[in-house]
Each structure stands twice: as structure tokens, then as C-alpha cells.
Chains A and B, each alone.
Chain A
Amino acid sequence: MHFHLTEEQAAIQDAVRGTLADSWPMERVHAFADGDADFDRTSWYALMALGLGGMLAPDSGMGLLDAALVCEVAGEAAAAGPLIGQLLAVAAVAASGRGDAEALISGKTIATLIHGGSDYAPSARAADLFLIVDRAKGVRLVAAADVTIEAVKAADRTRPMSKVSIADGTGEALFAATDQMTGRLADAALVLVAADALGGAQKVTDMSVAYAKEREQFGQPIGRFQGLKHQLAHMALDVEPARALVWYAAYAWDAQLPDAPRAAAMAKAHLCDVYVRATRAAVAAHGGIGYTWEYGLNYWFRRAMADRAWLGSPAEHRARAATLAGW
């Protein structure tokens, strides 16, 4: 049995963490958030230069767990860009044999994910391709030319969504609704969003712990006060064990275990709730500074809200999980 990360996986996470730290110092996050771009070319190519694009290609020797570990780090950084859509588009295109997987793997062609029935997609204005994953209608790949984009003011400033409309039947059908790849791609998307949420929740917990060690009130670091210590312990208790839920869901997907769809639904529902709770608690733990724009916690709170709403709410996925369990 091996249910912990390998040194190699930890090294990949470190490499991505380093690259994103270089790309996204807080001033750049602020500048991006206050600008009106929905995509950042520099950080995108820095990430793609690490060779992450092809992780979900069938012959990469990696799998959803590796992809989830990368999305987790992207979530930590609240990084911009349609990383999840890109990873899934590679999986979809490579598995279907239609389209140019190489251009997607290198990141030269940019793909974003749109969930069946939704009107929103991240980095839509930068995207060349739209991967529509719809459990009821199958998986399609639509070129940007066939998509109408309407600008909106997005709440999540680091991964802005735009309103898009795509006429039924446009683009290329990759998988029918009945094809098992459709369900698998939809499940993988859930796991990757759960991983983004995990990274964000861990990040705001770490920020709060670090702040509690250095901020002094009443002549002591506030982390010495038990009221706050217990709140922080509770955040950690919410986040840290949930990590294994994400790992399991990704592992189950990779191993094609029968409970993989249910594990994906549970992970997405649970982690998105955890993320919102953690960011709320983080703002409280920081006091006034946490409520400022300047400090930046708001970016993770906004991301938590967006992750929760993306691809279906926790309640929706729990309802699916209940049905899948035969309750």
C-alpha cells in the first residue's frame, strides 16, 4: 500500500510553487485584479514551460493525482489562467484522437472549460478553444470564433469568468453522452476544482497561523490566546484531513475504481465547503487587516466562492452522491 506522495510528486509541487511565487508576488496579483485582463501570458507560459500541459495525456506516465497536486498549488497561489480546462482538453483531445493535442500540451493553444448548462467560463477572452463537458449531451470542442463572449465584472478577480454563449451543435463532438469518457472528464473536473479549493484553504490557514505568531496584542503574540488558537486548530482540522479525500478521489479516478464518480462528487462538495469556511475564518483571525483589499485575503475568499459555484454547488453534488450510493 502506498497512500502518500512520492518524492517526485513533492518535487513537482515545489517547482510549480516556485514558478507561481515568481509570477505572482502580491503587487502583481493586485495589478491583475485591478486590470481588466482575464488571462496572464507571462505566468501561463512559465507554468507551461514546466511541461505540465500534458499531464493528463494518456501516455504521460502521470495521472489525475499529479494534475490535482499541480492544481492544488495553483489554488494556493490563486493563480490566473484556465489550467483546469487546459489539462482536461489535452485528456479529451488525446483520447478522442481529434484535434491537435501537441499545441494544447505546449500551451500555445489555450483551452478553457465550460460546464454543460453553464453560461460562464474562465479566461474566455484568451481562449482559443472551449471544452464543453456535459454529462447529458457529451463532450464538444468549440473554436473561439464560434463563441459569443459578453464582458461581465467578475467577482473572482484572479480567475475571472466571462459570460459566453455557444450555439448547440457547433464545433466538434468528441464523446457522446453515453461514452464513458464523458463521465470521466466531468468527474476529473470535479477533482481538480476540489484540489484548487484544497490549496486555497491550506494557504489561508497558513497565512492565519503565520499572522497569529507575529501579531502582538496585550503584549503577546495573539496565537498564544486560546480562543484564537482553538479557532486556528479548527481550521486546520477542517482542511488537513480533507486532503486525503482529494487524493483518494484522484487515485480512484486513475485506477478507474467503481466508486470514482462518487468520490469525485464528495471531494468537490466537501472541499468547496471547507474552502469557504476556511477563508471566512481566516478573515476573522486577521482582524481589520484581513478585511482590507490591500492584504489580499479577499482574493482567496472570492476564489472560494467561485470554486463553490463552478460545476455545481456542494448541495447538488451531495444529492448526486446520495443517489449514487443508492440511498
Chain B
Amino acid sequence: MDLSYGEAAETFRAEVRAFLSLHWPPPSDLRGGDLKQFVRNFRALATEQGYLHRAIPKRYGGSEQPVDVIRAQVIREEFQRARAPMEVGGNGMNMTVPTLLEKGTEEQKELFIRKTVEGDYIWGQGYSEPGSGSDLASVRTKGELSADGSKWIINGQKIWTSQGMQSTHMFMLVRTEPDAPKHDGITYLLIDLDQPGVTRRPIRQMTGEEGDHTFCEFFFDNAETPVSWQVGERGQGWYVSRTTLKHERASIGGADGLGKQFAKLVDLAKEVGRIDDPIVRDKLAQIEGSVLSHRYSSYRIFSCAAAGEDPGPVALMMKLLLTEIGHEMALLAQELIGEHGFLEPAGAGGRGNRGPRGPEKWLDQIMGSLGNSIAGGASNIQRNIIGERGLGLPRDLAMSGER
């Protein structure tokens, strides 16, 4: 076993560092639009250098590098160290682009990938509906072909769309074959959200935040999308949506985030003068046992990915583990902030509530941990997946449409 990346990787690291020291950070006098443009240029340069968008062919705006998880990790580490921006995040990069690369037509790739990579197109995930959450395959939003067969006409409703207010486009699951079995009547469509048949309404989240973190509901009233924007075959949308999962590469990112948050929790305990309390120390170390299990398991998954081996059921567990640790941290944080818990964190609530952020800022995390237990597949569904796919327990046949 060896956790070092080897000599070649270290040479590469030096190269990345040299690049960063030349091009990042921006000069201190940049502001507003200029800064935005600087970041855009920096990303373009880093892509040209082969550091960003490595899996994406050059003709769609990527850098077309061979798969190399070690290099990818070195880049991630060095960019994080320098606090340099990596790819624009979000559904577009994580889901739309990999799905199109695998299942999209040439036209779709040309139309969408570069614009997504450069941050011009922002994608909403149009899966959930008021009646279809965990039972995702039960979606009812209807897609019908226009008389001339050139367009899909969409009617129905989507809900809980993260970043819905900013989204320019959506990838969505619609029912096109009402008489087919549940999983075989769904088609995967891309749609422009800026058209008369689409109405969006923000839904305020329990954190009270507005803006980026608000999700939306969407109403489709004879909204249209060209048939050429259908990804995969008609009726095969469920299976297209599954391919995205394959692209969910093992990433140490989640573990890094968790580690940082845990360090902040330790700081909180110091800040409020409770770090010497043996019970607090014990609880912190207890949580850290899980944090480290999560971190080293991500190494394990990452290492297997690098060697093209199967890490086994642990890969199915990382989301739920993250959620559970988040809850544990939230509980301890809640205990530590004491009466600061009476206060709304600055920036939340959307009532012009600004000013310095004290220990009450943990309320964001505490409430956020509740969101994590729902978004991207509720915890019970994760337990089903671990039980059935991970442990091979018999499936409940009534529940085969879970997300």
C-alpha cells in the first residue's frame, strides 16, 4: 500500500504549481465584471494547458486528456491549495456533459457542451414532480409529438429544481408512452427554459435563503423542444438517466469538504470555550472516527478507480455516510452554539439580515444537513440501495422505480 502518488505525479505537480503561480491569483485591483472576465480567461488557459475539462474532447471546448485519476487529483489538490477556480460546478458539468458525451448526438454535443463548460448554459435537473420523488419512474409530465413529428410538446409540472431560477436549460424525464410499462415509457429531453410555455416559481427553502439555493417549481404548458434534442431513444429515458450515475467518479472532493467542516467544528468548540469538556472531546473524536472512515474509504474507492478495480459495496455507502455524519456534526454544533441558536444567521432569512456571522452561522449547516438527507435520493432509498445492491437482499418488487 502506498498513498504517495509517485515521482511522475510529483513532477507534474511542480508543473501545475508553476502554472498557477504565473496565472493565479488575479491582480488585486480587479473588480466586478473585470474579475469575472479574468476568471473566464484563467479557465480557458487552464483548459488549454490540459488541466481542466480533461474528459471533454477539444472540439467541444475540453482539453481531451487521457484518463488519469492521479493527475486529476494532483490538479484538484494544487488548485485548491492556490484557491484557484476549477470547472464551473453544477448539474451541467456533473450530469449534462457526461450524459451527452456518452448518449448525445453529434449535433447535441456541439450545441451544448462548450456553452455549458464556459458557464453560459446553466442546467436544472427536471426529475422530481409533485407525485414523483423517490418513485422517480412514476413521472407524469407528458411529452407528445407535434403533428409533423418535429417537436415534443410538453405539459406538466416539475418541482424542487435546484438553481431553477438561474437555469437556462433543463434535462428532464417525460412520459411519452403512457401505455408502456412504467420504466419503458419515459423519454429524456433537453429543453430551453426561456420560452412562453414555461413558467417558473421560486420555492423558498427552510433555511430561509434566497438566491442560489432556492429551488423552483416549473409549469409546462405546451412548451416545445425539437425532437433532435431528445437524448437516447424514445422510451429509453430511464436508462439514459441511469448512465449519468456511471460518471459519478470517485472523488476526494466530498471527503475534503467533510474534513474542513469537521475542523470548523473543532474550532467552534474552542471558540465557545468547550474544548476542554471531556464529553465534547469524546463526542468530537467519535465523529472524527466516522469522518476518517469516510476519508480513507474515498481513498480506497479512488485507488480502485485508478487501477480499474471494483471497490465493492462501500461505493454505494458514501452518500448515506456523508448524510449521517452531517447529522452528527449538526447535533454537536447545536449543543455547542447554545443560545446563539436563538439567532437567525446573517445572510439568511432574506430580510436584509446582514452583518457579522457569529456561531449562529452553524444553523445553516444544521438545516442544510436536513436537505442532504433528502436531495439526490432520500436516506431510506439509500438504505434500500445498500441492502439490495450492496448486500444482495431480496428486492421489494413494488419499489423497483426508486431513484
Contact = CB atoms under 8 A, between A and B. Distances in A.
Interface of A: 1-5, 65, 209, 212-213, 220-221, 223-224, 226, 229-230, 232-234, 236-237, 240-245, 247-248, 251, 254-255, 263, 266, 269-270, 273, 315, 318-319, 321-322, 325, 327
Given A1-B70, A223-B393, 20 more contacts: A1-B73, A1-B306, A4-B311, A65-B1, A209-B391, A213-B392, A221-B394, A223-B387, A224-B395, A226-B384, A233-B386, A234-B383, A236-B391, A237-B320, A240-B313, A240-B314, A241-B314, A247-B1, A318-B282, A322-B282
Contacts of B386: 233, 236-237
Nearest to A270: B289
A44 to B, nearest CB: 28
B38 interface: no
Nearest to B391: A209
Contact of A327 (B275, B311, B312, B314): B275
B7 to A, nearest CB: 13
B300 interface: yes
Contacts of B286: 269-270, 273, 318
Nearest to B286: A318
Contact of B387 (A221, A233, A244): A233
Given A245-B296, A327-B266, A3 B1 contact: yes
Contacts of B306: 1
B309 A230 contact: no
Contact of A266 (B288, B297, B392, B393): B288
Interface in B296-315: 296-297, 299-300, 302-304, 306-307, 309, 311-314
A164 B146 CA distance: 87
A3 B306 CA distance: 10
B321 interface: yes
A241 B288 CA distance: 13
Given A237-B386, A243-B314, A2 B303 contact: yes
B285 A318 contact: yes
13 contacts: A1-B73, A2-B2, A2-B303, A3-B299, A221-B394, A237-B317, A237-B324, A240-B297, A241-B297, A251-B1, A254-B1, A315-B282, A327-B269
B157 to A, nearest CB: 29
Contacts of A221: 393-394
B3 A212 contact: no
A96 B295 CA distance: 36
Given A236-B386, A266-B285, A244 B393 contact: no
B55 interface: no
Interface in B213-251: none
A270 B292 CA distance: 10
Contacts of B388: 229
Contacts of A245: 289, 292-293, 296
A254 B2 CA distance: 10
A4 B296 contact: no
B384 A319 contact: no
